A and B are shown apart, each in its own frame.
Chain A
Amino acid sequence: MALLEVEDLCIDYKTKSGYLKAVDGVSFTLEKGESLGFVGESGCGKTTIGLGLMGMLPPNGVVRKGRILFEGEDLLRMSAEEMRQVRWRKIAMIFQAAMNALNPVQRVGEQVAEAMLVHNPSLGKHKALKAVEELFELVGLQTDRIRDYPHQYSGGMKQRAIIAMALACRPALIIADEPTTALDVIVQDQILAEIRALQKEFNIGIIFISHDISIVADMCHDIGIMYAGQLVEYGPREDVFDSPAHPYTRALLSSFPTLTGKKTDLVPIAGETPDLVHPPKGCRFYDRCPEQIPLCREKVSQWVALSPRHKALCCRCEMDGR
């Protein structure tokens, strides 16, 4: 049984001008101990997926349809109380810029212990603090800093503390939403290495959300490329990056500056993302697609299997059989 199986997930946000289709028909599976990365630009729905999985959508967010099977149980059918049992204990999330969410007037160690005690009150404060010590060692923080306050920590250390907090209940799945965005390259590298090691050690499934292709490529077995609320390409990272099929994936890759190759290769994607309150009937990338044909505007794009595990949502791919 897969750790996580998401089927046809649709999430809307209620806005003044109507329902905004932030996530539309997203399906994927994640095995135990594997990692899956979602890449896309702002507003593509990647963070919404994370919040949806945690059952933490903002008040105007509604799951319109779909199933989220976690260890075989549908999270969407759970009561609030049942969901509370799953959240953090089994599925934890590292939020974007979470390091700024640490309480400035509480010692870091106590905050990590608190995360543990909330979900496991019988543990007792003394034991919890003992466990925090282990967690600190795990994430590479010195244990003599447990009694420090957040302002005494550097950005990287705070982020490590947040990771410790996510690990506090030994979850089976961690959702990491841009966990290193606010950090410097060298610190980022260290944190990513840490996450990779912990994942291996505890066999944790990880969903990695980022706009930075290079990080996701470095971290994840499988990659999902998202555009305007839809998954548009999905597969093992080698397939997606070495033989990208969807025009958006290709455009995204060629707009990203790299350290090698010809300098003149950077090609921006013209235009803007479509309005998701009234999404286009056909392909959502139609307006910006360099390979558009009239059919794409009318026809709802279908998934095309390119190899057993690599697929793309594109009319052209379907026609060309690539």
Chain B
Amino acid sequence: MMENRGNAIIEIQNVSKVYRSRGALFGLRAKDVVALRQVSLKIYKGEIFGLVGESGSGKTTVGRLIVGLEEITSGDIFLDQENVTGLKGKAMKAFRRKVQMIFQDPYQSLNPQRSVLDTVTEPLAIHRIGRSSDRKEMVHKALKAVGLSPPEIFFYRYPHRLSGGQRQRVAIARAMVLNPEFVIADEPTSMLDASISAQIFNILLKMRGTFDVTQMFITHSLAAARYLCDRVAVIYRGKVMEVGSGETIIHNPKHPYTQALIDALPKFRSSGAIQRYGTLLTEERQVDLEQVGCPFYPRCAVADETRCGRETPELILLDEGHYVACFQL
């Protein structure tokens, strides 16, 4: 996407990720799992970018590759126009100060043996920011910003004494205390109840204002993405299918897969008013593993075999800011 909308803070170019299995016991043929295929995305400064996909679509992999938790198979990632692919050592450490991640499960992402103060201070200590007296002040500020107030009463609490929502706030504070430029939130509310999720959504929105931080929000819920995000990318089996504003994706989806997603949403209150497409899904077509084609080809009712089954569609610009990867438009 070559569109110029100010500066892209994060740009990923043709990123692929293949998980190689070493082959089963007794030397059966090894199978490679392609988690991402040639994904390119630009995330602009100050926006909240949503990455929506079902389980196994590769959405979490995108996040993990950006922060460098996993090694990229091919492609490049840029932060502020600087290539940050495969950083090591000191350079990696400097990068991590700018790019942080909030994980899905706050019951697992917090160390049960560390108090809230220790947990949130740790990144400051690792990056040698401030003297220890200043650090307490910074932690205080971060906890307050995520709505854990008064922060003092949480300082010496351990995770087991926090509710799920409180834990996730601590995780957000830990990411924000470094004042990063870019934060990836990977399904931060999937373990939480609806009423608590709304609190977390609102905190993320507030973070953009108070910390001037750009965010990528990874989710399986279109409704949540619409609420939080400026732009949304829909990903399916490792390939970006459609990119556009939240409203565009929900009210004017063009990719058959996005339409099928909208169709599948429960008809509930006002969502009953959403246009449905009656997208037909076919029985899973058998595809040759070697053959590349549209990832949705096996289930797509409008696909044609000669093209969709053999070539991979690239994202094309359909309308301002609206990209779709489909031959059948």
Contact = CB atoms under 8 A, between A and B. Distances in A.
Interface string A266-288: 11111010000000000000000
Contacts, number: 102
A6 interface: no
Nearest to B263: A189
Contacts of B223: 256-259
A197 B250 CA distance: 28
A261 interface: yes
Interface in A208-236: 211-215, 217-218
Closest 10 CB pairs of A and B: A268-B198, A214-B268, A189-B264, A269-B195, A41-B193, A184-B54, A255-B198, A218-B266, A268-B199, A214-B266
Given A251-B195, A256-B194, A259-B226, A188 B270 contact: no
Contact of A41 (B195, B266, B267, B273): B195
A241 B267 CA distance: 12
B281 interface: yes
Interface of A: 41-42, 184-186, 188-189, 192, 211-215, 217-218, 241-242, 251-253, 255-261, 263, 266-270, 272
B202 A259 contact: no
25 contacts: A41-B194, A41-B196, A185-B261, A189-B266, A211-B193, A211-B194, A214-B265, A217-B267, A218-B267, A242-B269, A255-B197, A256-B198, A257-B201, A257-B221, A257-B223, A257-B226, A257-B227, A258-B269, A259-B223, A259-B226, A259-B274, A260-B270, A260-B271, A260-B274, A263-B227
B270 A261 contact: yes
Interface of B: 54-55, 163, 165, 193-199, 201-202, 220-224, 226-227, 250, 260-261, 263-271, 273-274, 281
Contacts of A218: 266-268
Contact of B265 (A41, A259, A263, A269): A259
Contact of B268 (A184, A213, A255, A266): A213
A248 B221 CA distance: 23
B144 to A, nearest CB: 16
Nearest to A185: B264
Contacts of A217: 266-269
Contact of A185 (B54, B195, B281): B54
B268 A263 contact: no
A259 B198 contact: no
A38 to B, nearest CB: 14
Contact of A269 (B198, B268, B274): B198
A41 B264 CA distance: 23
A41 B196 CA distance: 10
Contacts of B195: 41, 251-252, 255, 268-269
A241 B269 contact: yes
B271 A266 contact: no
B202 A268 contact: yes
A185 B261 CA distance: 7
Given A185-B54, A266-B201, A266-B227, A255 B194 contact: yes
A186 B274 contact: no
B226 A263 contact: yes
B263 A258 contact: no
Given A189-B263, A268-B202, A269-B195, 6 more contacts: A214-B268, A258-B223, A259-B222, A266-B198, A266-B201, A268-B198
